[in-house]
Amino acid sequence: MGIALLGLAAVCQPLMATEADIPFANESSLISSRLVEAVLARNPDIPAMKAAWTAAKARITTAESFDDPMLSYSVAPQTIGVPGVDFGQKLAFSQRLPWPGKRDLRGDVARFEADAAFEGIEQARLKLTEVTQAAYADWYFVHAALRVNNVNRSLLQEFQNIAEIKYAVGRASRQDALRAEVEVTLLEHRDIVLERRRRDVLAQLNTLLQRLPDLPLPLPAELPETLSLPEVEQLRAFALEHHPALRVVTARLRASRQRERLVERDLYPDITLNAGYNTLWNQDEKRLTVGAAINIPLHGRRNAAKDEARAMIMYLDAEQQATISQVLGEVQRAYDRVRESAHIITLYRERLLPLAEENLQAAQSDYESGSGNFLDLISVEKNLMQTRLQLEQARTDYHRHLAALEHTVGGPKALHKANFEGNQ
């Protein structure tokens, strides 16, 4: 048991040790953009992918380099120390020179593969940003729901006091006060449920931040207001140009096409230049030699490599078309959801919420004057609570759908740029 506890402490220690570097540790409220920044900075997958990208970039130089020159030396051992016999030795130097264009093609293949690795980093960053923003939206909603619950509990307690006063003077039944008490108790139960939900979201956010799950976080700031979106056609065009998933497939496709050209170029022989000096020859004029050699390319394995390259091109071409269709579909769906959420926010904020508040005022006035019943008052109060919750849910959904749209078009900067260009 002791060894297990020590092992657990060793695993948790890095999480506890990094608590001091949370950028919003001393801030009163948590902002979505600051949370995303911290998650990206602390995520272990991003540095690992950057290291893989650095390794891929290093392979460009390797691919474009010449082979190492060869230097050889040999002796005739039976000539060593033999009287009257010259010491026999050979010295040779050779350099392999690939057929023109091969090094450039190898460099292109490595370069496009490095581009794919880089775009993979951007793709991971976008996905992590979307997940973080969605978790932040949940963090906002659970606190908004707790606020609405507290406001409604205070309101019901006020109604309960009114009912008890009316009961005391014989203007209402005891059942009205009991109904109010039941509703207050139900809201207390809802507080327990929401608090459990708050801890769930807290654990999710802390997991994204590589922290212990129960460490505290600041309260969420208000969600930003709705944006004026550009036309969906502009977002589609922008996504096709900037989305990392498409850039990854495009870079891999370019690498495969250059690899096919390299296989074709590999059918041409390489040239090996050589120079040597051989004292085994009796005549001095024969001792110095220069020459060249070529390899004889065999078509068997090269044809197989060419078939493999062509098959990979067909596969990646199909994957590119599928990715284009997927991105265009995601843009359309995310765009429609953002617009729908914005419409719902306007509907609740400008029409339904004012009507629910006005209806509650009228019901409370009728009950206090004796012309209304308590059941209608409770029903109207529940409607107001649901309206407030649905408005907060719509704001939360808008933030989540906007995050999905930003991810689909290539990130928030891409969306804002498209928005700016669309308003010119």
- How do residues 182-211 score in pLDDT, each as one tens digit? 878 888 888 899 999 999 999 999 999 998
Residue 68: partners with Cβ closer than 8 Å, 6 or more residues away: none
pLDDT at site 163:
73
Structural domain includes residue 18 = no
Distance CA 42, CA 47 (A): 9
pLDDT at site 22:
58
Count how many residues are written for the chain. Answer: 424
CB 410 within 8 A of CB 126: yes
Structural domain includes residue 8 = no
Distance CA 161, CA 180 (A): 9
What is residue 213's DSSP assignment?
T
pLDDT at site 10:
43
Residue 371: partners with Cβ closer than 8 Å, 6 or more residues away: none
pLDDT at site 29:
87
Structural domain includes residue 299 = yes
Cα–Cα distances (Å) from 360 to 1, 137, 356, 389, in that order, read 60, 29, 6, 16
Structural domain includes residue 391 = yes
pLDDT at site 11:
45
The CA angle 166-169-172, to the nearest 5 degrees, is: 40
Domain count, the chain: 1
Structural domain includes residue 53 = yes
CB atoms near residue 367 (< 10 Å):
23
Identify the CATH number of the domain in which residue 241 sits: 1.20.1600.10
Structural domain includes residue 21 = no
- Judging by DSSP bridges, how do beta strands 70-75 and 219-220 pair with one another? unpaired
84-102 burial: b if 16+ Cβ within 10 Å, else e: eeeebebeeebebebbeeb
CB atoms near residue 133 (< 10 Å):
22
- Residue 281, classed as helix, strand or coil, is coil
- Judging by DSSP bridges, how do beta strands 89-97 and 271-278 pair with one another? antiparallel
> Which DSSP helix (H) or strand (E) runs through 394?
helix 374-409
CB 403 within 8 A of CB 133: yes
Structural domain includes residue 15 = no
Query: Which amino acid makes up residue 296?
Result: I
What is the dihedral sign for C-alpha 204, 208, 214, 220?
A: negative
What is the per-residue pLDDT across 141-163, written as a single tens digit (0 to 9) for each?
Answer: 999 999 988 888 887 777 777 77
Q: 417 lies in which domain range? A: 28-422
Those residues of the chain that have pLDDT short of 50 are 1-17, 418, 420, 422-424
pLDDT at site 164:
73
Structural domain includes residue 140 = yes
Q: In the structure encoding, which two tokens stand for residue 158, read together? A: 């006020």
What is the per-residue pLDDT across 112-133, written as a single tens digit (0 to 9) for each?
Answer: 999 999 999 989 999 999 999 9
CB 200 within 8 A of CB 189: no
CB 21 within 8 A of CB 37: no
